[in-house]
A and B are shown apart, each in its own frame.
Chain A
Amino acid sequence: MFKNYIKIAWRNFKRDKSYSLINTAGLVIALSAFIVIGLFVYDELSYDDYHEDADQIYRVYKAAKDGDANAKSLATANLLAPTLEREITGLEEVTRISKRFAESLVESRTQKRYVDGLFLTDPSLFDVFNFSFIRGNPDTALNRAFTVVLTKSAARRYFGNQNPIGKSIWITSLFGKEEYEVTGVIADIPENSHYTFELLTSLETLRKTSPEPENDFGSWGHVGTYTYVKLQEGITQEEVAAQFPEFLTRHQGKRAQNMKMALQPVTDIHLYSNFRREIQPNSDIRYVYIFSSVALLILLIAGINYANLAMAKSADRAREVGIHKTLGMSKYQIIIRFLAESFVLCSISVVLAFCLSEALLPLFNNLTGKDLSLFDAPAPFYIILLLFTLVFSLSNGLYPAVAFSRHNPGRILNEEASAKKKSLLRNGLIVFQFTIAVVLIVSTLIIDRQLEYVNNKRLGLNEEQVVNVNAGDGRASDYQVFRDQLTQYPSIKNITFTGAQLPATDLMAMCLYPTGGQRGDTKMLGIGPNFLRTLEIPLLMGQSIDGLSFSRENDFFPVLINEAAMEKFGWEDDPIGQTFECFSPTPTVVGVVGDFHYESLKKEIEPLVLMGSISAPRNILIRVESESIRATLDRIEQVWDEVGPGTPFVYSFMDENYENLYKAEDKLASLFSYFTVLAIAIGCLGLFGLSAYTAERRTKEIGIRKVLGATVTQIVGLLSKDFLKLVLIGFTIAVPIAWYAMNRWLQDFAYRIEIGPGIFLLAGSVAVFIALATVSWQSIRVALVNPVESLRSE
């Protein structure tokens, strides 16, 4: 019998091709979105949970007692871990990770490349986290200085198919170039980790290379290490944290009054932790909520669309069901029959949705920077999806099934459908869909415009045609040779260097404060000669520091400040000659430069001190002629290879580096635009279904009106007017929601656009246009029917 139902369902599917296609298209789009977003959410929620006992692993952080979010800090002293281990009960293991944020040059005999960040850690890392060893002994691999553990891919990269154990690699970092022995190979780190690396060196190395190891390891003041603990079985986070206040008082004395120490579950880090200096940038639980809601909403909309379309076809089906009933079909059989139909449609949709989502995944991965794949998804994901399909098809088929199975099928649907309650529900859905559509359109427009604004805002420097060459540890002598050789070429206009790449992400702040003024950190950037000229930054007062040098005898260190510093320190009248404390020889202001954006436009331009001489040329900035850039780059590379043999030529363009600051927002913008299209597409399907339904329901009325003299335009207007009202209500609801949400988003930027009415009007017009286009198709079709036909069908 069931086979028979499926057969009939399939025939029905084929018979009403356009109806089936609209219905399937809606379901397929919605299910694909659901699958793709489901994979994304599943991945986001699974961060770090692959560690055995993940629920027992915590990271230690410090925070101000008053809860000031900016006062949270992950940086702990190296001294913390051994002290915790000694004094706090309930801890099974304690381990430390120290990360050098600057790039390090890693070389084997055959390979060399820059690695972003260098991890130094305790051997106990492998007792806290599960990193499975392929070669080497986890207990001893990192207990000596200058030892290194590689991941499998890194081992292959540096040593090919050879066994790397006992072999050497050389790492050039802040500490200079050192030889390290490979003592272990571990499996690659899963992508869903809050930190990933390709090599780990021992923290012991720091003890050997640091200029002041006693301070690094024996003082509470030297912070910069992440401390992780693993609790003993049965011990809770609260039990351990309860011991912290006393611990702090013991070691920090009075300072402990304003401070607290706390534990953060390792599985929460990726989604709930956004401190300064995270090991790697984390995501945000808000994105998980936003995307999950979008997926569910889309599915909900598609589901109700299905029911709407089923009702639109009710007249047909009622007659058919009536005949079946007269021939003896039972209520139960009718329900099964409609559920079977819904099941067939859903199954076809699921299969198609799998194909579509597989096709969409590369695009989605590209946008989210993830590496999701349908085939890698774990079993629970598929079980959830299958269950969902079943529930979805059941609930979708249930309304028509029950409605048709009732006593008088001919009347039920027509009557119920015209009932006020039902139409309120349907109209509510359309309003809901268009609210979402307008919010998404407005959001997309605002994100786009803000990004356009930050990308085009004058930065206070000329970032075009500037090549940024990564100079690694930057030996000053090499720089001079390099500069002298390059300046012979006419295509090179200017050359300088900085101590940190511009734009900077987290510029170093030093204890520089105006003499006699308020204490606090001021941002500092080391620059080379010709800095202002190369970047075309205006000098407002005084002179540049080119040609001036510091002198210990005269206690003179020439520095430049930006306008923001001049204003903040109240030096508008006489900035030249002002000095800073807490640095020797005394930094003395010789000139004021115009404000320029040295960081993202999300941040205000803060007081900045530009210091010459003290910085190694880590980033060489070369202003080039706009013609034949390719040839100029080749020339630079050639000179680079001659001057600094052995270090790879790694370059970027400064304007691109500025654009890259907003990569996350760019991705958000793209995702938003895709979801907008999706929401609108599904909204249109709903509207299309409903307008078909309305047109069918009003066929007689339209016939009468035409007989009485109504024109096609009048009929189309009549049918579209009602929908237009719904769209306008949706628009009205959407405006405050979108305004509020986007205003909050814009707060992330110190420099931002104003949200004017224009954007809302544009979004509203787009929504109205799309709605009218969708509805008109049906309205015109019905309006063109000869009234004789409409009245006969009655």
Chain B
Amino acid sequence: MIQTKNLKKIYTTEEVETTALDNVNLEIQEGEFCAIMGPSGCGKSTLLNIMGLLDNPTTGEYNFLGQEVSNHSERQRAQLRKGNIGFVFQSFNLIDELTVFENVELPLLYLGVDSAERKEKVEKALDRMSMMHRRNHFPQQLSGGQQQRVAIARAVVANAKLILADEPTGNLDSDHGDEVMKLLAELNEQGTTIVMVTHSPHDADYARRVIHLFDGHVVTENMQEGFHV
């Protein structure tokens, strides 16, 4: 599903050049649950952004679903992103002015799905996350764990093949964190590929594979034997 070759990302400001990713070579198969770990500033989020087609690498190749996308324009990337990739963020990133239902509905709106089908899909996704009873609430009226569940519902509503999660439990207490991780694991069980950035070894235990980044380099990759279920 994902293949990178000599992936490099350099941020340039007026005075300094910072190399965020340096020759990253990775391959992630469909159906994998992969965790990316490493200290702050090691390039985890940059890698996730490039994988999620939010950003282009400076050099190197990136192959997503069989397409070379490293030189795609913003428009092409947006097109490919829609329906294929779902995002889960540390700070949930729900829109405060929209209800739970409307938040989850957004990706479908941008895909041009008609209203009846949207309703059906949103309800299904909310049901799956046990959030149907909260469909008319606003994000601020929910607990952190509930908000993250809504965010996951939004990530899966369009049947994304890949979910990218950026420290999905970072803002949650351990109980809610576990709840969210279980949901992700369940999704993976059902066939969704998940790539997750995390600081927490506990969360990383849910993944089958852990990639360690340091200073923009992949330092180790290990397959986990007895991961959580």
Binding site for B on A (CB under 8 A): 700-701, 703-711, 714, 786-788, 791, 794
Residues of B within 8 A of A705 (CB): 95, 106, 110
B202 part of interface (Cβ distance < 8 Å): no
- Contact partner of A700 (CB less than 8 A), chosen from B74, B82, B93, is B93
Q: Is B54's beta carbon under 8 Å from chain A?
A: yes
A706 to B83, CA, bound (A): 13
| Interface pair B55/A709, CB less than 8 Å apart | no
Query: What per-residue 1/0 map shows which CB atoms of B78-97 lie under 8 Å from chain A?
Result: 10011100010101011111
Contacts A701-B95, A787-B54, A788-B49 given: A708-B75 contact, CB under 8 Å? Answer: no
Cβ distance B55 to chain A, nearest Cβ, rounded Å: 5
Do A710 and B110 contact each other (CB < 8 Å), given the known contacts A700-B93, A704-B95, A787-B54?
Answer: yes
Say yes or no for B219: interface residue by CB 8 A criterion.
no
The residues of B that contact A794 with a CB separation of less than 8 Å are 91, 93
Residues of B within 8 A of A (CB): 49, 52, 54-55, 74-75, 78, 81-83, 87, 89, 91, 93-97, 106-107, 110-111, 154
Q: Contacts A707-B54, A707-B93 known; list 20 others, CB within 8 Å.
A: A700-B93, A703-B93, A705-B110, A708-B82, A708-B106, A708-B110, A708-B154, A709-B78, A709-B81, A709-B83, A709-B107, A711-B75, A711-B110, A786-B54, A786-B55, A786-B74, A787-B54, A788-B55, A791-B93, A794-B91
Chain B residues with Cβ below 8 Å from A791 are 89, 93
User: Residue on A with the closest CB to B164?
Assistant: A707
Q: Closest chain B residue to A706 by CB distance?
A: B78
Query: Cβ of B78: which chain A residues have Cβ within 8 Å of it?
Result: 706, 709, 711
Q: Which residues of chain A have C-beta atoms less than 8 A from B82's C-beta? A: 708-709
Complex interface: chain A residues within 8 A of B110 (CB): 705, 708-711, 714
Shortest Cβ gap from B174 to chain A (Å): 24
Assembly CA distance A706 to B54 (angstroms) = 9
| Complex contacts, A700 vs chain B, CB 8 Å | 93
The CA-CA distance from A193 to B93 in the complex, in Å, is: 70
CA distance A710 to B109 in the complex (A): 9
Bound Cα distance from A442 to B135, whole angstroms = 47
CA distance A711 to B81 in the complex (A): 12
Q: Which residues of A contact B75 (CB under 8 A)?
A: 711
A787 to B52: give the CA distance in the assembly, Å: 11
Expressed in whole angstroms, the Cα–Cα distance for A21 and B110 within the complex equals: 38
Query: Nearest Cβ distance between residue A254 and chain B, in whole angstroms?
Result: 79
Given contacts A708-B107, A709-B78, A791-B89, contact A701 B55 (CB under 8 A): no
Q: Can you report 26 A-B residue pairs in the complex whose CB atoms are below 8 A from each other?
A: A701-B96, A701-B97, A704-B94, A704-B106, A705-B95, A705-B106, A706-B78, A707-B54, A708-B110, A708-B154, A709-B78, A709-B82, A709-B83, A709-B107, A709-B110, A711-B75, A711-B78, A711-B110, A714-B110, A786-B54, A786-B55, A787-B54, A788-B49, A791-B89, A794-B91, A794-B93
Closest to B89 in A: A791
Is the Cβ of B54 less than 8 Å from the Cβ of A788?
yes
Cα(A731)–Cα(B215), bound, Å: 58
Query: Chain B's nearest CB lies how many Å from the CB of A54?
Result: 62
Task: Tell me the minimal C-beta distance from A716 to chain B in angstroms.
Answer: 14
In the bound complex, CA of A709 to CA of B111 (Å): 7
Residues of the A chain whose Cβ atoms lie less than 8 Å from the Cβ of B89? 791
Q: Which of A708, A714, A791 has the most CB of B within 10 A?
A: A708
Nearest-Cβ distance from residue A415 to partner chain B, whole angstroms: 12
With a CB–CB cut-off of 8 A, which chain B residues contact A708?
82, 87, 106-107, 110, 154
In the assembly, what is the distance between CA of A707 and CA of B93, in Å? 10
With a CB–CB cut-off of 8 A, which chain A residues contact B93? 700, 703-704, 707, 791, 794
Q: Which residue of A lies closest to B83 (CB)?
A: A709
Query: Which of A700, A705, A709, A787 has its CB near the most chain B CB atoms (within 10 A)?
Result: A709
Distance of A711 Cα from B110 Cα, bound (Å): 8
A707–B85 CA distance with the chains assembled, in angstroms: 9
The smallest beta-carbon distance between B144 and chain A, in angstroms, is: 16
How far does the Cβ of A706 sit from chain B's closest Cβ, in whole Å? 7
A294 to B87, CA, bound (A): 52
- Measured CB to CB, the nearest residue on chain A to B154 is A708
Report Cα–Cα, A786/B87, bound state, in Å: 16
User: In the complex the two chains form, what is the Cα distance from A794 to B90 in whole Å?
Assistant: 12
- Compute how far the CA of A788 lies from the CA of B47 in the bound complex, rounded to whole angstroms: 12
The CA-CA distance from A703 to B49 in the complex, in Å, is 13
Q: How far is the CA of A265 from the CA of B87 in the complex (A)?
A: 79
When chains A and B are docked, how far (Å) is the Cα of A701 from the Cα of B91?
A: 13
**Bound-complex Cα distance A306 to B109 (A):** 37
What is the chain B residue whose CB lies nearest that of A711? B78
Residues of A within 8 A of B83 (CB): 709
> Nearest-CB distance from A605 to chain B (Å)?
64
The 3 closest A-B pairs by CB, nearest first: A709-B110, A709-B82, A708-B107
- Report Cα–Cα, A235/B75, bound state, in Å: 86
Chain A residues with CB under 8 A of B111? 709
User: What distance in Å separates the Cβ of B120 from its nearest Cβ neighbour in chain A?
Assistant: 19
B-chain residues with CB within 8 Å of residue A704 when the two chains form the complex = 93-95, 106
